[in-house]
Amino acid sequence: MQNEGAVTAITAKRLTLALCAAGVIGGAVGAITVNHNNATAQAAPAVAAAPAPAPVTAPPAVAGAPAATVTLPDFTRIAKQNGKAVVNIRVMGSTKTSAGNIPQVDPSHPLYDFFRQFQDPRGSRGGAPVFGAGSGFIVSPDGVILTNAHVVRGASEVTVKLADRREFRARVLGSDTATDVAVLKIDAKNLPTVPIGSSRSLQVGEWVLAIGSPFGLESTVTAGVVSATGRSLQDDSNVPFIQTDVAINPGNSGGPLFNTKGEVVGINSQIYSQTGGYMGMSFAIPMDVAVRIKDQIVATGKVQHVKLGVSIQEVDQGFADSFNLDSPEGALIANVERGSAAERAGLKSGDVVRKVNGQPIIGSRDLPGILAMAKPGDRVALDVWRDGKIVRLNAVLANASDKPAPAERAELAANDSGAKLGLALRPLEPIERRQSGLPSGLVVEDAAGAAIAAGIQPGDVLLSVNGKPVSTVAQVRDMVSKSTKSVALLIQRGSDRIFIPVRIG
């Protein structure tokens, strides 16, 4: 995601993904889209769940036809019982920014008056205060509150207003930008809380309810159905979002999404929009993800994410035919990071992950979505399609903060002269060999010194040294050590092959 002043852009055709907080803090809190081509984008003690929905008799569709009994949710019970634990969040910060960094709205825009209240009348120059707003909900009687990370990002002051109109200054215990979850704390006791549910049991078509403060209008209730689960919205996010058609607007960010039992199953976070307002698609962070983040923040003040150490591709029909798969499903392993959990588990380039702990992988993004629910050190069982059959592998997940092993470098002394090639090399992966048609070779991941001076570039494939084929760094090291002044490297670049002399003396 890239910041454009206060606007974070994710373009999906002409639709844009907008974060749902109102106002802006330091170009980050409550970014609101005003340009049609850009976008802003363990569990607390449970209380008794709301009574089961009461049957409601629907009116006859045709005069004279018998009435049909249809079970509809009683949203009044959920709103009355759980609305007390939903809070309004106001944030203030300061930023040294030009007026152009704050979203500018045409006076004819229907939301002009709303956006204008967040503009500094002096042009927001020189660190003037800026404001934002969002929603949240209480998960512990002693004042622990969940909301979105983007609601409080860059805030110097956070104020929480309860449903009974009391206001408290809040501390940000921690936030996680990867999942967009933040945890706040206010100094209060015996507060009402929401019951926490599991998002894993959500079904497409199930009724859900949102409570929040869209456009600053507190305790607003909107309802709809679950449109999809496990949605992937950005390449850099592993959150399996819940998609709904619940009306969510700026100010709803951080508010709860309830199921018909009155349990919170998600945190309302983002919308697809061309206008900055609701257009029929809203997205919530699954509560199973949010609780995992909350527990880590409360316990340690920081969050750890898992890392398998692979890059993946979608399995389309062409790949399915190539690998003799019965359907285009799974996550194709394009590359395995050296020294990673995946390499230790035996994963190889060209493998297709079909299941993780028994859960099917349909689209490639299902893999990181499932792994997002785990923690470093967890063991996962991977069902992998390899050579026409399923192979079971077990991986112990690493910490995402662990640095990858560096590429092996062929910086080799020649005849004790101290000269070096300056190449970072790795062997071709199986899938790269199939796609390129090359039987062997070494991929140039980085070039420096004598190599870059000779014209070698990252992405080149080293095929031979002094006319002898190479497939390992050890072979390159041996041949360079026997040379005196220069070596002749055969390089494949695209469809071309060229010899490049590299001086080492």
End-to-end CA distance of the chain: 46
Q: Which amino acid is at 320?
A: A
Catalytic position from the list 74, 176, 180, 366: 180
Q: 272: which strand partners?
A: 17
Task: Tell me the helix, strand and coil percentages in the chain, rounded to 5.
Answer: 15, 35, 50
Beta strand pairing call for 442-447 and 461-465: antiparallel
Point out which residues pair with 223 in neighbouring strands.
Answer: 209
Q: Which residue out of 237, 253, 269, 483 is catalytically annotated?
A: 253
Clarify whether 180 is annotated catalytic. Answer: yes
Closest to 333 (Cα-Cα) out of 367, 377, 381, 374? 367
Can you spell out the DSSP letters for 232-294?
---TT----EEEE-----TT-TT-EEE-TTS-EEEEEEEEEESSSS--S-EEEEEHHHHHHHH
Contacts of 256 (CB under 8 A, 6+ apart): 82, 86, 135, 137, 194, 210, 211, 212, 264, 266, 267, 268
Instruction: Say whether 150 is catalytic.
Output: yes
Among candidate residues 124, 150, 366, 483, the one labeled active-site is: 150
The answer to whether residues 307 and 341 touch, using CB atoms and an 8 Å cutoff, is yes
Position of tokens 């819940």?
242
Instruction: Spell out the residues 6+ positions from residue 113 whose beta carbon is closer than 8 angstroms to its own.
Output: none
| 124, 98 contact by CB (below 8 A) | yes
Pairwise CA distance, residues 29 & 118, whole Å:
12
Rounded CA separation 162/184 (Å):
13
Q: How far apart are CA 487 and CA 504, in angstroms?
A: 7
Cβ-Cβ contacts under 8 Å for 40 (sequence gap 6 or more) = 6, 7, 8, 9, 16, 17, 18, 19, 31, 32, 33, 276
CA separation for the pair 420, 437 (Å, rounded):
30
User: What are the residue numbers of the active site?
Assistant: 150, 180, 253
